[in-house]
């Protein structure tokens, strides 16, 4: 990166808002909420797309199972660690 590019990047970073304390928590929680909603909508839409394209209930069910399986497995593994 050239010196000019580095200067511009540093100047841009200086303009970003700084979050601290409660404001940082709400910014992070809001971002996580939007991400979770987007992931759920994508999972739902992809399932409907597969069902529409193939017309096969088995493909639709397999897709939904594959989308939910990592969440369930992670919950079983992480749950006891969080409870400690």
> 53-71, pLDDT tens digit by residue?
999 999 999 998 988 888 8
The more confident residue out of 79 and 4 is: 79
> 23-56, pLDDT tens digit by residue?
889 999 999 999 999 998 998 899 999 999 999 9
| Average pLDDT over every residue of 65-82 | 88
> 6-26, pLDDT tens digit by residue?
555 556 566 667 777 888 899
**Distance of alpha carbon 19 from its chain centroid, rounded?**
21
What is 8-39 written as a DSSP string?
Answer: HHHHHHHHSPP--THHHHHHHHHHHHHHHHHH
């Amino acid at each position: 990166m050239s010196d000019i590019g580095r200067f511009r990047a540093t100047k841009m970073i200086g303009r970003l808002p700084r979050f601290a304390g409660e404001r940082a928590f709400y910014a992070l929680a809001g971002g996580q909420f939007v991400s979770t909603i987007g992931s759920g909508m994508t999972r739902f839409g992809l399932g409907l797309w597969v069902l529409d394209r193939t017309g096969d209930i088995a493909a639709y069910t397999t897709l939904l199972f594959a989308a939910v399986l990592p969440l369930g497995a992670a919950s079983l593994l992480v749950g006891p660690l969080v409870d400690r």
